[in-house]
Every structure is written in structure tokens, then in C-alpha cells.
């Protein structure tokens, strides 16, 4: 760890962490929001001395997609969020970052970033998906598999913006399912990073190496706050994905995936981590420190694994019928939402994901030790779904 990191980045990150409530974007009470709500928050920061806005185009359903620029430095950094409509965490963090700059124009971080960098920010690339809180665009396309074909107007906008400005750095901001874990540690992944490969060989060209230095900086910042909850995606090359291609096109790109945190369904803590991690890393880029960063910190991050369920029943007895022997089992259950076709509302439901030995798994929401209590064999079936309020029916009534 460099002395610059210890003396400057670390203290900045701690200051940003401790003073977060004083500058975070106000008015965000839920992680479910539409573009109209986001535009209201952005309107509060409408200070032309800080931000420039240019309309890039419109989504399939005609919603405006805009670029917000901050600073006039020679190094360009592009940040884009919510290409998947149901992945809002980083969009909230971008609002926090705008709010920080607005409320702290004289802060050393604000001044250095504005002087040395030009930030090119596209919050909410998929406003149609955000309207319905779905991953895909209104044309049913996963935008992150449309980097080459460019079938969708939203993908064209992202590609055109990258090509127009040719930024040196990029941040590709997503959410992942909250049930991923940090390797086999049974710790829930709060944030997962990736400096994507630029081709099938997954080698380190100068562009990717610089991305790894950025990811390493971000990892050092996040390790101050979540030393056990940071993971890394494997670097399989996805030939049609944006992160991989933007790396290939020459912009050093880091993927940030917001994961899960116990007791925080809106992911407000992970939003805070995104905000602080990005601000501190942008400051390191602005200060010209990235080329000195050791990539070891990034390479050492454990891989993201999916060893979590929302709810785990441990140590129960399952007696399938009178003829075969009963066994001791654990049961892994997830809670999801689906549209009720009668009411049109979103209903919560639970689904049994796994039955067996779940000793390697951890739970995101809760777990019970059944202490040998017998399960209701009529209900314990793989993929069986039931209303979230019916959990107690899983146990056989005595
Ligand atoms: Zn995503």
C-alpha cells in the first residue's frame, strides 16, 4: 500500500464515510424509482457552473437519455448506470456524488476532480426498464448483450458516447443478486469488482492493466469499510457485453456490482459504499496516482460465488413417505416478487431452491435450527413456491 494511499486516499475515504449524511442526495426514500423521480433529484443540483447537460437521444419509448458533465480537465472518465432497469443502486450513488460536488464546491476532492478530470455521467441508461423495474429494455433486449449488434437505441447511445469522447477511464455500474458470497467464506458479497478481459486470451494489455490499477484502488478504499464483503467476478470474456468491449475499444473499464447487505433491502449502505469508493478513486485518478498502484490488491480479491439463500432451515427431518427412511436435511429458500395477473400488483412469494446439506451456504435474511423437527413432506419439493407468509406450514403440525 503506497504512502499516498495511506496519507491521502484513506483519510479522504474516512472523511467521506463519516460525513456522508451531510452531503448525500436528499429525497431518496426507496430504491424503486422512475426516471421522472431521478430528474427531480437532478433538478435540485441544477447549477450550470458545476454541471453541463446534453441530450444524447431517447429510449425506445421516447424517454430522454442525457449526459451530465462535470469538470473541464484533460482526463476523461465516463460513468454509466442502470443499463439494467432493475439495478438502481449506483444511480442513487451518482446522485450522492452530484450532491457532494454541489454542497462542497471548495473541497479539495471537488476542486481537484473538476480541474483534472472531465466526468461524463449517464445515470439510468435504461429508463424504460426502470419504469417497470425490469432488467431488459422496452424491446425486451438485455442491453449488456447488445454492444456489437446495437439493435437498441440505448446501446447505440452508449457506444456513440464512448466513441465521441474516447474516455481514458470507464465505470460500468450494475447490481447483482444479493445472494452471492465472497468465495467460500459464507460472507455476503456487498460489492463485486471486475476489470474485464479485452479478448478471449484474457491477457493484460496496457488498457486492462490500467483498469486493474483502478480496481485495486477501489478495493483498497472498500476494504476500509467492508474487509470481508468484497469479491471479484471471474474474467471470462463476453464477446457481446459492454464492459468487455469498452475495454477492447481502449477505455480502461471497471465493473462495479452492488450486491447484498443483511437488513438493507434498499441497499442504502451499498449505495454509500459506491459513492465513497467512486469519489475516492476519482480523486486518485485526478491526483495522477493510478500508474503507481500495485494490482496485487485486485488480484487477491476472492471470487464471487453463489452460496447464499434468503432463508435456511437447518437440521430438519424429512420423511417422504412411510416406506423409505427419513433423513436429516437443510432447506434453502428464496423470497421473490412476481406480478399477480388478477390484481396487477407485485406479490411476494417464497420458493424452495435446494434440499440437502447446506453447510457451505449462508443466509441473507434469516435462518432457523429446526433441531430435528419434521418437515411437511407435501410442501418440501424443489421449486415449490408458496406465499411468503406460509413459511410455518413447511413444518409438520404435531
Ligand atoms: Zn446489470
The alpha carbon of 382 and the centre of ligand 1 are apart by a number of angstroms equal to 27
Q: What is the mean pLDDT of each run of 10 residues along the chain (398 residues)?
A: 81 98 96 96 82 95 97 98 98 97 96 98 98 96 98 98 98 97 97 97 96 98 98 96 97 98 96 98 97 95 97 95 89 89 86 96 95 92 87 82
What residues does the ion ligand 1 have nearby, CB within 5 Å? 84, 87, 174
Residues 129 and 194 in one domain: yes
Q: Which three cell numbers stand for residue 122?
A: 449517464
Q: Phi and psi of 311, rounded to 5°?
A: -140, 130
For residue 382, which of 361, 357, 353 has the smallest C-alpha distance?
Answer: 353
Residues 181 and 256 in one domain: yes
- Give the model's pLDDT for residue 321: 77
- Give the model's pLDDT for residue 398: 60
Residues 59 and 9 in one domain: yes
Residues 293 and 315 in one domain: no
The alpha carbon of 143 and the centre of ligand 1 are apart by a number of angstroms equal to 9
The alpha carbon of 156 and the centre of ligand 1 are apart by a number of angstroms equal to 17
Q: What is the CATH number of the domain that holds 384?
A: 2.30.40
The CB-side HSE value for 391 (13 A sphere, CA atoms) comes to: 18
Q: Which three cell numbers stand for residue 219?
A: 478495493
The alpha carbon of 82 and the centre of ligand 1 are apart by a number of angstroms equal to 7
The alpha carbon of 175 and the centre of ligand 1 are apart by a number of angstroms equal to 5
Helix 268-286 to helix 89-103 angle, to the nearest 10 degrees?
Answer: 60
The alpha carbon of 20 and the centre of ligand 1 are apart by a number of angstroms equal to 26
Strands 75-81 and 169-175: parallel
Strands 385-387 and 346-356: antiparallel
Residues 208 and 221 in one domain: yes
Residues 119 and 256 in one domain: yes
**Whole-number Å distance between alpha carbons of 170 and 236:** 19
Q: Is 360 helix (H, G, I), strand (E, B) or coil?
A: coil
Q: 270, 305, 340 — which closes off a domain?
A: 305
Residues 110 and 190 in one domain: yes
Q: What is the CATH number of the domain that holds 84?
A: 3.40.630.10
- Assign residue 183 a region: left if phi > 0, alpha if psi is -120 to 50, beta otherwise? left
Residues 119 and 48 in one domain: yes
**Whole-number Å distance between alpha carbons of 177 and 179:** 6
- Give the model's pLDDT for residue 341: 83
The alpha carbon of 253 and the centre of ligand 1 are apart by a number of angstroms equal to 15
The alpha carbon of 176 and the centre of ligand 1 are apart by a number of angstroms equal to 6
The alpha carbon of 237 and the centre of ligand 1 are apart by a number of angstroms equal to 16
- Give the model's pLDDT for residue 1: 60
- Give the model's pLDDT for residue 185: 96
The alpha carbon of 330 and the centre of ligand 1 are apart by a number of angstroms equal to 31
The alpha carbon of 88 and the centre of ligand 1 are apart by a number of angstroms equal to 10
Residues 258 and 172 in one domain: yes
**Whole-number Å distance between alpha carbons of 331 and 391:** 12
Residues 233 and 253 in one domain: yes
The alpha carbon of 144 and the centre of ligand 1 are apart by a number of angstroms equal to 7
* Structural domains counted in the chain: 2
Q: 305, 333, 367 — which closes off a domain?
A: 305
**Whole-number Å distance between alpha carbons of 2 and 128:** 44
The alpha carbon of 84 and the centre of ligand 1 are apart by a number of angstroms equal to 5
Pairs from 288-294 (Cβ < 8 Å, separation ≥ 24): 288/116, 289/2, 289/4, 289/5, 289/9, 289/217, 290/210, 290/213, 290/214, 290/217, 291/210, 291/213, 292/2, 292/4, 293/2, 293/5, 293/213, 293/214, 293/216, 293/217, 294/1, 294/2, 294/216
Strands (DSSP E) along 237-395, which ranges?
252-258, 304-305, 308-318, 327-339, 346-356, 362-369, 385-387
**Whole-number Å distance between alpha carbons of 398 and 387:** 22
The alpha carbon of 174 and the centre of ligand 1 are apart by a number of angstroms equal to 4
- Give the model's pLDDT for residue 397: 74
The alpha carbon of 202 and the centre of ligand 1 are apart by a number of angstroms equal to 21
Residues 136 and 219 in one domain: yes
**Whole-number Å distance between alpha carbons of 355 and 333:** 9
Residues 159 and 182 in one domain: yes
Q: Which domain holds residue 381?
A: 308-394
| Under 8 Å between Cβ of 214 and 233 | no
**Whole-number Å distance between alpha carbons of 82 and 292:** 31
Residues with Cβ within 8 Å of 135's Cβ and at least 6 positions away in sequence, in order, are: 84, 85, 86, 87, 129, 142
* Residues forming beta bridges with residue 258, ordered by sequence position: 175, 191
- Give the model's pLDDT for residue 387: 87
Query: Percentages helix, strand, coil for the chain, rounded to the nearest 5?
Result: 35, 25, 40
- Give the model's pLDDT for residue 48: 67
Q: 238, 272, 305 — which closes off a domain?
A: 305
Amino acid at each position: 500500500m503506497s504512502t499516498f494511499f495511506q496519507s491521502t486516499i484513506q483519510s479522504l475515504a474516512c472523511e467521506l464515510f463519516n460525513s456522508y449524511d451531510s452531503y448525500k442526495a436528499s429525497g431518496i426514500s426507496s430504491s424503486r424509482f422512475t426516471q421522472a423521480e431521478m430528474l427531480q433529484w437532478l433538478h435540485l443540483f441544477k447549477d450550470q457552473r458545476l454541471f453541463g447537460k446534453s441530450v444524447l437521444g431517447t429510449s425506445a419509448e421516447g424517454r430522454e437519455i442525457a449526459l451530465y458533465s462535470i469538470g473541464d480537465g484533460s482526463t476523461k472518465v465516463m460513468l454509466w448506470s442502470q443499463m439494467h432497469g432493475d439495478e438502481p443502486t449506483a444511480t442513487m450513488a451518482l446522485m450522492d456524488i452530484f450532491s457532494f460536488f454541489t454542497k462542497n464546491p471548495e473541497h479539495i476532492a471537488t476542486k481537484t476532480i473538476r480541474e483534472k478530470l472531465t466526468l461524463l455521467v449517464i445515470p439510468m441508461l435504461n429508463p424504460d426498464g426502470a419504469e417497470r423495474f425490469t432488467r431488459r429494455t422496452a424491446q425486451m433486449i438485455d442491453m449488456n448483450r447488445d454492444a456489437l449488434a446495437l439493435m437498441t437505441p440505448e446501446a447505440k447511445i452508449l457506444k456513440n458516447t464512448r466513441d465521441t469522447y474516447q474516455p481514458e477511464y470507464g465505470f460500468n455500474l450494475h447490481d447483482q443478486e444479493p445472494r452471492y458470497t465472497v468465495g467460500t467464506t459464507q460472507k455476503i458479497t456487498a460489492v463485486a469488482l471486475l476489470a474485464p478481459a479485452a479478448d478471449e486470451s484474457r491477457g493484460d494489455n496496457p488498457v486492462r492493466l490500467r483498469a486493474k490499477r483502478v480496481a485495486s484502488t477501489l478495493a483498497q478504499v472498500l476494504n476500509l469499510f467492508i474487509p470481508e464483503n468484497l469479491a471479484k467476478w471471474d474474467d471470462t470474456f463476453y464477446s457481446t457485453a459492454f464492459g468487455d468491449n469498452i475495454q477492447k475499444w481502449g477505455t480502461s473499464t471497471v465493473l462495479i456490482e452492488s450486491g447484498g447487505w443483511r437488513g438493507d433491502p434498499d441497499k442504502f449502505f451499498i449505495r454509500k459504499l459506491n459513492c465513497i469508493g467512486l469519489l475516492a478513486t476519482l480523486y486518485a485518478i485526478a491526483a495522477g496516482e493510478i500508474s503507481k498502484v500495485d494490482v496485487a490488491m485486485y488480484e487477491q480479491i476472492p471470487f464471487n460465488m453463489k452460496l447464499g439463500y434468503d432463508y435456511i432451515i437447518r437440521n430438519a427431518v424429512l420423511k417422504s413417505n412411510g416406506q423409505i427412511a427419513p433423513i436429516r436435511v437443510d432447506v434453502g429458500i428464496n423470497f421473490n416478487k412476481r406480478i399477480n395477473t388478477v390484481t396487477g400488483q407485485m406479490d411476494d412469494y417464497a420458493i424452495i431452491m435446494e434440499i440437502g446439506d447446506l453447510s457451505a451456504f449462508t443466509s441473507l435474511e434469516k435462518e432457523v435450527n429446526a433441531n430435528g423437527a419434521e418437515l411437511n413432506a407435501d410442501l418440501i419439493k424443489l421449486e415449490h413456491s408458496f406465499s411468503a407468509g406460509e413459511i410455518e406450514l413447511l413444518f409438520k403440525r404435531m
